[in-house]
Structure 1
Amino acid sequence: MLKIEKLAGIDIGSNAVRLLVANVITEENGENPSFQKSALVRVPIRLGADTFINGIISEENKLRMIKAMKAFKLLMEVHGVQKYKACATSAMREAKNGNEVVQEIYEKTSVEIDIINGQKEAKIIFSTDLSHIIEVHKTYLYVDVGGGSTEITIFSKGKIITSKSFKIGTVRLLDDKKEFRRIWQNIETWIKENTKGLKNINVIGSGGNINKIFKLSGKPMGTALSLTYMKDYLAFLSKMTYEDRIRKLDLNPDRADVIIPATKIYLSAMEWSGAKKIYVPKIGLADGIVKSLYFNKF
């Protein structure tokens, strides 16, 4: 007999806010649960545009967040969600008024938000199932690119070797500051030092932008994008105007500007580690939240 449990994860990122509702299906013995997406809602609230420029969440975006959480709560009630978790990442944790905004959201919506650090974010995302991609004899560079930060994890033979969070992301890179050059150099040094001597390295990419790039490639799930493809695609995107990327590629306006800096991060990680392929399992923080909820890892 099947048991079906409804769980939800809310990912409050720097470029958008997402609600994932999932059905967790298990047999009577509770082994080998199956996670099936029931609904995914994405709201383009760019909190990073506030935090990374002015240091605080604006009144306008705070009110939008309150409305979004009220809407998410209603949607979860309609779907019959039994348990949920909301996590906020770099934009909220770096905002001077981040804790105040979280408190006000809770008072007006009863939605409790946890502000998590980069290491926790990477751990949650990494908890998702990668068994259909990972090969035991290979080493992987796991790169999760968000709006405000990039989490990089190196693992081999199924075990994490090292992990680090960098304050660089797609929304940050829209603002061309000199300090980002130093962070770029730090990422390059870190990747080269920690992958030195490692062979058969592949990159696993997560994040909305790499998911979109993979979808546009038309390749079947489970196959990889090559280094050459990523180079050519970056050149292709760079030749197009912002408007063309919206019209011709059918990108959302809040995706059409950040997809170029995102592609640069993934491509750079491949080049610095010597990887020739990037796999895109189409997973993210919301997926990890749902799985962590089910396995009681919070």
Structure 2
Amino acid sequence: MIEIKKYGAIDIGSNAIRLLVSNVIVQEGKETQFKKSALIRVPIRLGADAFVSGIISEENVSRMIDAMEAFKLLMKVHKVERFKACATSAMREAFNGEEVIKKIFEKTGVKISIIGGKEEAAIIASTDLKELIKGTNSYLYVDVGGGSTEFTVFSEGKMVTSKSFNMGTVRLLNNSKAENKEIFENVERWIKKNTKDLKRISLIGSGGNINKLFKMSGRMEGKPISFVYLNAQYQFLKQMSYQDRISELSLNPDRADVIIPATKIYLSAMKWSGATKIYVPKIGLSDGIIKSLFYETL
């Protein structure tokens, strides 16, 4: 007997808003499978509002309302049974964040939960990593978003510690050099402190930017990217203009700028932890939301 459930996850990030629709395949005597059915990404950069002016603009509130209405229709077509919407760093910090989610609920019926950094890290860490983290090796899981980056240390198949830092790509683009320097120094201290006694450590990277970098590398799924390759790619991207990254590399306009600070974060984490390679499974906050929805029903 096989049962297929359909769940939806809405991830309201600082650089984009995403809808993930997944099939949850339940079969007696077998492990539950989570298969992605559709992923829709809308480039509404809330972080450009929240991290500069401190409020979500009326224009972006209107765009969010339209996006939620569109997502509702898409979920209806996909016959989604249950869904959950979570907002992260930009909405956490916007002075009008609570007001915005109330307005969106009144207009669309979509209830949005603004989650804290620790909760975000916990949801991400709950994603299916067991195939990667099994054995005696150690891993530093790095999920880079627009407003924050979540770091989780795994050793011998278990989570050791986790922390969220205000080190997101959109935030770094809008901060002063002094602010960014301080953030990087704080993260460096944390990573070195929590990885110093670990041997054979590798990175696990998630987020849209590392997925794009992995795709550009031409590597087979499951194979890691080396520090040497990623650093060479970073230097190559930096020397190109924003326009050239769009026209020559076919990057989306809202990806062509943030990919630079994102690559720097991954490289820095590799350097500070001593990792020489980074694995890139296709997982993130939305995958964690789907899993949490399923386990809530058990």
Contact 1:8 1:83 survives alignment (8 Å): yes
User: Where in structure 1 do 4 or more consecutive aligned residues deviate above 6 Å?
Assistant: none
- The equivalent residue for 1:14 is 14
Shift of 1:30: 6.7
Q: Does 1:259 align with 2:259?
A: yes
**Aligned pairs (5 A) from 1:102-181:** 102-177=101-176, 178-181=178-181
Structure-1 separation of matches of 2:255 and 2:63? 19
Q: Does 1:52 align with 2:51?
A: yes
- The equivalent residue for 1:277 is 277
Structure-2 separation of matches of 1:199 and 1:132? 19
**Structure 2: stretches of 5+ with no match in the other structure:** none
Contact 1:8 1:19 survives alignment (8 Å): yes
Q: Read off the aligned partner of 1:117 and give its amino acid letter.
A: G
- The equivalent residue for 2:190 is 190
Once the two structures are superposed, residues 122-166 of structure 1 have per-residue CA deviations (whole angstroms, 9 ceiling, x without a partner) of 111111111232232111101010000011111111211111111
Which stretch of structure 1 is more off in the superposition, 183-192 or 30-39?
A: 30-39
- The equivalent residue for 1:75 is 74
Structure-2 separation of matches of 1:123 and 1:254? 27
- The equivalent residue for 2:37 is 38
**Aligned pairs (5 A) from 1:197-212:** 197-212=197-212
- The equivalent residue for 1:90 is 89
Q: How many pairs does the alignment contain? A: 297
Shift of 1:294: 0.6
Shift of 1:81: 0.3
* Percent of residue pairs bearing the same amino acid type: 64
Shift of 1:213: 0.2
User: CA distance change for structure 1 residues 279 and 78 in 2, over 3 Å: closer, same or farther?
Assistant: same
User: CA distance change for structure 1 residues 261 and 268 in 2, over 3 Å: closer, same or farther?
Assistant: same
Contact 1:133 1:222 survives alignment (8 Å): no
Structure-1 separation of matches of 2:297 and 2:114? 16
For residue 283 of structure 1, give the secondary structure of its aligned residue in structure 2: coil
Contact 2:170 2:258 survives alignment (8 Å): yes
Shift of 1:35: 1.2
- The equivalent residue for 2:228 is 228
Once the two structures are superposed, residues 168-219 of structure 1 have per-residue CA deviations (whole angstroms, 9 ceiling, x without a partner) of 1100111241222111100011111111121101000010000000011010
Q: Read off the aligned partner of 1:4 and give its amino acid letter.
A: I
Contact 1:9 1:86 survives alignment (8 Å): yes
Q: Read off the aligned partner of 2:290 and give its amino acid letter.
A: V
- The equivalent residue for 1:237 is 237
Contact 1:234 1:263 survives alignment (8 Å): yes
Q: Read off the aligned partner of 1:267 and give its amino acid letter.
A: L
Structure-1 separation of matches of 2:131 and 2:220? 13
- The equivalent residue for 1:100 is 99
Structure-1 separation of matches of 2:46 and 2:160? 32
For residue 22 of structure 2, give the secondary structure of its aligned residue in structure 1: strand
Contact 1:132 1:222 survives alignment (8 Å): no
Shift of 1:236: 0.7
Once the two structures are superposed, residues 5-29 of structure 1 have per-residue CA deviations (whole angstroms, 9 ceiling, x without a partner) of 01000000000000001111111x2
Q: How high is the TM-score relative to the length of structure 2?
A: 0.97
Q: How high is the TM-score relative to the length of structure 1?
A: 0.97
**Structure 1: stretches of 5+ with no match in the other structure:** none
Structure-1 separation of matches of 2:174 and 2:110? 32
Contact 2:18 2:39 survives alignment (8 Å): yes
CA RMSD of aligned residues (A): 1.2
For residue 23 of structure 1, give the secondary structure of its aligned residue in structure 2: strand
Q: Read off the aligned partner of 2:35 and give its amino acid letter.
A: Q
Structure-1 separation of matches of 2:30 and 2:59? 46
Structure-2 separation of matches of 1:30 and 1:57? 48
**Aligned pairs (5 A) from 1:207-218:** 207-218=207-218
Contact 2:87 2:115 survives alignment (8 Å): yes
For residue 84 of structure 1, give the secondary structure of its aligned residue in structure 2: strand
